[in-house]
Amino acid sequence: MAFELNSAIKQLFELNIDKIRNISKSNFKEFFPEVGFLFDSEKVKLEKILNVKIKNVSIYEQALTHRSYLQIINNKKYFSNERLEFLGDAILNMVIAEFLFFENKLLEGELTKMRSWIVNKQSLAICAKELGLMQFIKLSYGAEESVKRGSENIIADTVEAIIASIYLDKGLKSATNFIIEKMIPIIRNQSFLEDANYKSMLLEKMQAKSMTPPKYEILESNGPDHEKIFVIGAFNGDKLIGKGTGKTRKSAEQDAARNSLNEI
């Protein structure tokens, strides 16, 4: 197995750079066969969301195809978005690293920490929901139920695959613009660029005052599964000390903790 892998790596490095950068039309169709679900009206909607004029629809169809959907298609010539996810993850990390590098003068350790706040399953899933990408993702019934129960992996992976599809279809500049202009504002709004662990801060403050640790309970949850809003209460024993809202239970708990800090 190790010998086969080493041979494959050697062959990759022996490839002509032009061959790597310029996929021929025949190879392109082999890598990205058109599935046919992203028809004209859907394509236009996706273009508005991404702010990209799509040239090769088949790349985006693959980016939106979860591996579970291949069981429904039942055709071995199609691929899931896993390979695009691999490429998109690398592009996202590079763009975010450059963004943070010029955004401030922090040292390497702090920059690494900030990048980890941004590039994670939770932040990417929120970006997908805020942008409206959920409506386009192709899943099996079981995978769809998993998403409804709160699984963020499938949604987050799709965002990375979309970044790769923009890169392959329109180039690095367009992929960078999508990350900076579409994703960063959402990430800023969700405070992922701040080290604001209010739950930890509230726990420390209550322990300093010899109070029992806070408990968090769902008071309300409103809206459809893909756009649910949680209302969380932070309690000291049976006493409600603060409420918070958010599009995920975690963000609502942080908001409740932040509001509780003002009451303690």
Exposed, middle or buried by CB within 10 Å (0-12, 13-18, 19+), for 64? Answer: buried
| Cα-based distances in Å from 179 to 29, 37, 96, 118, 236 | 27, 25, 8, 11, 41
> Three-state SS string across 14-46, please?
HCCHHHHHCCCHHHHHHHCCCCCCCCHHHHHHH
State which H helix or E strand residue 235 sits in: strand 229-236
End-to-end CA distance of the chain: give it in Å, rounded.
Answer: 60
Tokens of 25: 């039309």
CB 159 within 8 A of CB 128: yes
- Tokens 């922090």, residue located: 106
Name the residues annotated as catalytic.
89, 160
- Decide if 261 contacts 202 (C-beta within 8 A): yes
**In terms of Cα–Cα distance, which of 165, 117, 118 is closest to 137?**
165
